[in-house]
Structure 1
């Protein structure tokens, strides 16, 4: 990736437009002093566009200058309490301007904010506090009861007082490293250290494929503590966008905001898009220019149905907390292959490796490995990562087609062996998700006395719909091999999910062994 690519991309996305010369000098001066982390990105935006509205949330409407003042006030209060470089501060907040101020206030001192999933239980919060060696937790009022067992200081929304002043804040010797917790679907989540961008190249890699523009109005529905919500915040600050936030995702509210032309772009996780599609269509739906999703696979047929209603504006980024991004599917990719994860953006290398760590040919399922400029810096507990040939293993299985598009076939640890045959639950999920009666579906492997393992399918039906288990099995039998047919078909009112929309497989009721 070279300077012409960066300059061309920034020009296409409106980042090189003429402006007040003094403000432009201050803008690049801020980046030069503070770097390309959150503290620097906010300062460059405030220097260039101080009076532009930065955030609109459920309670406030703040400009970039006001957002920076709030972040510096929190930084000053933390400094007064002795917080400094490398200290870890927990952040347990829902999407709001206050959360952004707090997050950037922490990094301003060179301390490390730890983004905590709002869905964690009190016992999990206590475990995170110990595992991450938190010095304190800053939180919304509603989380005070869950935090009561912690022995470290906690600070709610009333802290710091209005009289707190930031004083003279200088760039820290070592920029703060944001720590994002893994989803924690199988136990206590691990902390992953996010790298600080070294320049414009990571931003350009993403906006080259996802056409977000300077000054866009961006609704970030994905939780800011989630990798994708956090990435959306980074991109929005770099673009000097107006960020719209809701404390909780409400499909009707988001649908009405889109229909009213209130935003140019939506950043969400797939389950949110699915919930939007469960609502009746509304006039004015085709006002979005970008709907960018990430965090889990798109259920079968969802991409096509969404674009038929909202226009060809859907972009699907496949990545992880550890890998950042792997590939990005554009609307053209999704029209051609609705289940694709797209193609690697500029500066990213993806390889499909077989069991002998050799590159698998197109169409052959193997393990997905990736490298790019934003690979994470490791886990806070020094847990091992799998690397081959300088690439990081994602833990996913996938393949690449003849056109170079990436497809994710499931997690390595999800694949089961049934009667000696390799079975991928994800392909059966996609098949069942396409049934018109089905709203949600999950397919997992369960123990079997005769075959070792077998598939179990869990279905949530649309309102007033009915479906016979034998019809489900026959649908799979007609379209897949016999060993893909789920013996167990279980109907539920809802699938158990965590706060980012991922299905909690461990909480699905297990059928009787047999």
Structure 2
């Protein structure tokens, strides 16, 4: 049964601590009326801990009572009907949270927009998602020039209405998260609203976040992991530390200045913190939870050697929410593992015939849990019965049940009749001490159909010749895994969430 698990997890993470009886009644009353979406989670936090700092951002500090009032002013100022869609094009800030929760509080659907999209992509998204309004930071006004038939409102100008008590909408607003868009126009994925405490407990059972923690949300709030971090933080009545842009040196200083307990980010942020070199130790940090892309080879071990055994790696996607979580113990034992599925999640490795693959054999990764997405906008619900969802990734399980991701199904290439997984070579190269970052992709080849190309970023002051890289791969992998193209770059092209842009890599190698 779920109840013992939920009760035990909530007790361990401080969610069942005694408190003011009146506030506790109001807290659970808010959840009863508003549900477990963002609007309900903010209201339960404000009912239980109104004076607690909710957000510390680059401009101000606001308590939970003030954050709720700001979201209600936003809701009151917007002339929207239930089900209408509102684009949010903002950097991390209290103002963005107020707008996001204000939109859902009146039953409208917020669409979280990647701040790295081009003007033409923004115009396509606005049309495809049928946006009634776009709420944006001032800096993005020029990028919205091509957006037509959509009202544009600056986020810092929106709160003209008076705060007033709102009634729960007949139909709660549904948050829409855009896919990464690395291969074309992003699609909108409808996020489900949690139906109770189990989704929260499934994550915090494995990642030890506690009620009242100070959590630095470095991942963009428009990203699936950043959005999930916000949901978790509100449920925990945490103090959320936000910065508009990620700057490794400033974030390191913020971790110390704000006495941060937990950092939620993407792997490239951890890499950039490591690139700072030895600095003042962050003694308060208990959790550094990353998601969104693979951890480069050796990074987990190096990070924990410096920061302590605090690193957690969540593997998931916009569509699947989470698939597995690797703890520090998992990463010490196998630094490239994606960990194990948390409570309530089932993961299977299936071969091409749909049969379960033997231990150690690569196959497609399939998952089911209660937070699978409800389909893309413009389509019927894709997975109404929460059956197994194909992630699009290839992976295998070891004999302890740990999951390893071996690459995307569409990234695998056939070179001279041999199946080659670029991620296998990428992880091997990332382990070389001279290499800061490596990306390996397939490119067309007249003789073999496809071949591997390696794109390398060296650490400052280091040197490697292309033949040294090829020889390293040749010593550890089959001959068809050796990249014939080795291109050195100053940086790898990434989108705003840290994912590598393969199209730009191919262009840079021409």
What's the TM-score, normalizing by structure 1? 0.97
Equivalence for 1:160: 158
Equivalence for 2:329: 332
Equivalence for 1:454: 451
8 Å Cα contact 1:341/1:406 also seen in 2: yes
Equivalence for 1:366: 363
User: Which of 112, 116, 122 is equivalent to 1:115?
Assistant: 112
Secondary structure of residue in 1 paired with 2:155: coil
Report 1:184-203 matches (<5 A). 184-203=181-200
Q: What is the deviation of 1:158?
A: 3.5
Secondary structure of residue in 2 paired with 1:297: coil
Deviates more, 1:462-471 or 1:283-292: 283-292
Supply the RMSD in Å over aligned alpha carbons.
1.6
Deviates more, 1:376-385 or 1:466-475: 376-385
8 Å Cα contact 1:261/1:284 also seen in 2: no
Equivalence for 1:56: 56
Report 1:367-446 matches (<5 A). 367-382=364-379, 390-446=387-443
Deviations 1:11-30 (A, max 9, x none): 00000000000000000000
Equivalence for 1:132: 129
1:314 aligns with 2:329: no
Deviates more, 1:434-443 or 1:148-157: 148-157
8 Å Cα contact 1:328/1:343 also seen in 2: yes
Cα distance in structure 2, aligned partners of 1:159 and 1:70: 12
Deviations 1:323-363 (A, max 9, x none): 00000000000000000000000000000000000000110
Report 1:452-491 matches (<5 A). 452-491=449-488
Secondary structure of residue in 1 paired with 2:206: coil
1:292 aligns with 2:289: yes
8 Å Cα contact 1:457/1:486 also seen in 2: yes
Equivalence for 1:16: 16
Cα distance in structure 1, aligned partners of 2:184 and 2:47: 43
Cα distance in structure 2, aligned partners of 1:203 and 1:325: 11
User: Which of 181, 203, 208 is equivalent to 2:205?
Assistant: 208
Equivalence for 1:347: 344
Q: Which runs of 5+ in 1 are unaligned?
A: none
Cα distance in structure 2, aligned partners of 1:149 and 1:301: 44
Q: What is the deviation of 1:509?
A: 3.5
Secondary structure of residue in 1 paired with 2:199: helix
8 Å Cα contact 1:220/1:244 also seen in 2: yes
Q: What is the deviation of 1:281?
A: 1.3
Q: What is the deviation of 1:452?
A: 1.0
8 Å Cα contact 2:374/2:384 also seen in 1: no
Q: What is the deviation of 1:244?
A: 0.1
Cα distance in structure 1, aligned partners of 2:6 and 2:383: 31
8 Å Cα contact 2:24/2:48 also seen in 1: yes
Equivalence for 1:75: 75
1:273 aligns with 2:247: no
Q: What is the deviation of 1:511?
A: 8.3
1:40 aligns with 2:37: no
Cα distance in structure 2, aligned partners of 1:422 and 1:480: 13
8 Å Cα contact 1:446/1:510 also seen in 2: no
> How many pairs does the alignment contain?
509
1:92 aligns with 2:89: yes
1:177 aligns with 2:174: yes
Deviations 1:161-187 (A, max 9, x none): 54x124341101111110000000011
User: Which of 232, 242, 247 is equivalent to 2:244?
Assistant: 247
Cα distance in structure 1, aligned partners of 2:165 and 2:259: 38
8 Å Cα contact 2:393/2:408 also seen in 1: yes
8 Å Cα contact 1:219/1:263 also seen in 2: yes
What's the TM-score, normalizing by structure 2? 0.98
Deviations 1:455-509 (A, max 9, x none): 0000011111111000000000000011100000000111110000000000113
1:257 aligns with 2:254: yes
Q: Which runs of 5+ in 2 are unaligned?
A: none
Cα distance in structure 1, aligned partners of 2:444 and 2:215: 45
**For the structure 1 residues 512 and 490, does the alpha-carbon distance in structure 2 shift closer, same or farther, using more than 3 Å as the test?**
closer
